[in-house]
Amino acid sequence: MDRLLRNTLAIVVTAGALGVAAAPVATAAAQAQPVAGVQAEVRNPKTVKADAYNQARSILANAGSQTAAKSHPIHGKNDVPVSYGTSLLASARDEFRAADKNLPAGQKKSDMSIPHYNAIHSAAKTMGIDRW
């Protein structure tokens, strides 16, 4: 009986100590300053300005995306749901990866050519989209 009580007490004390130790770590992480070279996780906006979407569409079409070239420009609206932009980026990304699959690894970044990678990220930045 003493052994069971002692083991239970040891588990409770250890769990309590871990909980106390984890609390300052969580607080410090919440207050941490951004570090150069580390991308902060930012949520996408709920909407994208129509002009920004159209500009991103042009960037991707000029980089060779047939999907972007075939998509219709937004007009008559101030903004559109962010899903329009994320869908455009994902389609172009998949298209570029398929087109660039036979390139040597040294000429690729994220499974696409470096110019295609730069175009995708430029278009995403234009729309203020971080995740797609």
pLDDT in tens, 69-120: 999 999 999 999 999 999 999 999 999 999 999 999 999 999 999 999 999 9
Q: Does pTM top 0.95 for this prediction?
A: no
Radius of gyration of the chain (CA): 24
25 is a domain residue? yes
- Are residue 54 and residue 99 in the same domain, yes or no? yes
Residues 96 and 67 in one domain: yes
Same domain (yes/no): 23, 53: no
Domain that holds residue 101: 47-127
Burial bucket for residue 63 (CB in 10 Å: 0-12, 13-18, 19+): buried
